[in-house]
Structure formats: structure tokens, C-alpha cells
């Protein structure tokens, strides 16, 4: 994997994570509107970033593999800039993961509360249906 590919992947993953974190915030969305696909997508982005970070060479090994020659200076400068950009993306990714780590327990509590609310509503509907069935016979 080239540094350019890794940089593009990490930028895309960070964009998707920022977007997911905004969509999943409690003030933005009610729990009942969340879909399992939202979590599958989030997990897919995390796996993609993990694979990307495992397969990129470190900046030191990338620079050590290159010989310094005047005609390669421009290439080395470009590689160094890409490595710096990749380091910034990796740092942003870490920040996104930290935000997600703080955010998920609250989301779990909200989802459990939504589950209880839905189960209560389901039992009320069942009771109303039973009552309507009994009263239909008397009418």
C-alpha cells in the first residue's frame, strides 16, 4: 500500500467517522431512527482504518529505503508531506476513536431505554387488541 493510498483511505474513514458521530449524537437523532446498518457501516470503517494502519510503512523506514540524490529531492519532499498528512489523519482517527469510546456507553443506555419503551408499547397494543377482541363479541 502506498502512502498516497493510505492517506486517501484514512481521509475517507475520518470523514465517515465524523459524519457517523454527528448522526448518532442524542441531540441529532432519536434512538428509534437508528438502523443496524449504521453500526455495520461504522464497524466497516473501523476495520478498514485498522487494516490501512497495519499496512503502511513508518516514516523512518520509508525514508531509510530511499537514497538521497538531487533528482529525488522533489520525490522525497512529496513523500515527507504525505507522511506528515498521514500522521495528522492517524491522529484525527485516534481522536475520533476516543470520542466514540466516550459516546458509546451513553448510546447503549439510550438504546436499552428505547427497547423498554418499545416492549411497553407492544404490550399495550396486545392488551388493546385483546380488549377489542372481547368487546367485538359483545357488540
Distance CA 69, CA 76 (A): 9
| Alpha helices by DSSP H, 25-72 | 36-55, 59-64
With both helix axes pointing from N to C terminus, report the angle between 36-55 and 73-138 in degrees, rounded to the nearest 10: 160
Please tell me the pTM assigned to this model. 0.72
Instruction: Please say whether the dihedral angle defined by the alpha carbons of residues 81, 86, 88 and 89, taken in this order, is positive or negative.
Output: positive
Tally of structural domains, the chain:
1
What's the domain range around 107?
Answer: 3-138
- At 36 the pLDDT is 87
Query: Which of 49, 52, 28, 3 is CA-nearest to residue 107?
Result: 28
Distance CA 44, CA 57 (A): 22
Which tens digits make up the pLDDT trace of 58-101?
Answer: 644 544 555 556 667 777 888 888 889 999 999 999 999 999 99
Amino acid at each position: 500500500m502506498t502512502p498516497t493510498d493510505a492517506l486517501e483511505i484514512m481521509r475517507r474513514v475520518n470523514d465517515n467517522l465524523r459524519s457517523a458521530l454527528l448522526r448518532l449524537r442524542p441531540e441529532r437523532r432519536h434512538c428509534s431512527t437508528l438502523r443496524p446498518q449504521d453500526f455495520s457501516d461504522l464497524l466497516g470503517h473501523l476495520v478498514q482504518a485498522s487494516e490501512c494502519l497495519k499496512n503502511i510503512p513508518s516514516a523512518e523506514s520509508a525514508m531509510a529505503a530511499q537514497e538521497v540524490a538531487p533528482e529525488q529531492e522533489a520525490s522525497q519532499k512529496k513523500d515527507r508531506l504525505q507522511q506528515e498528512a498521514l500522521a495528522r489523519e492517524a491522529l484525527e482517527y485516534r481522536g475520533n476513536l476516543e470520542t466514540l469510546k466516550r459516546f458509546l456507553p451513553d448510546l447503549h443506555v439510550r438504546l436499552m431505554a428505547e427497547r423498554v419503551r418499545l416492549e411497553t408499547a407492544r404490550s399495550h397494543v396486545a392488551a388493546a387488541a385483546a380488549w377489542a377482541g372481547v368487546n367485538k363479541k359483545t357488540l
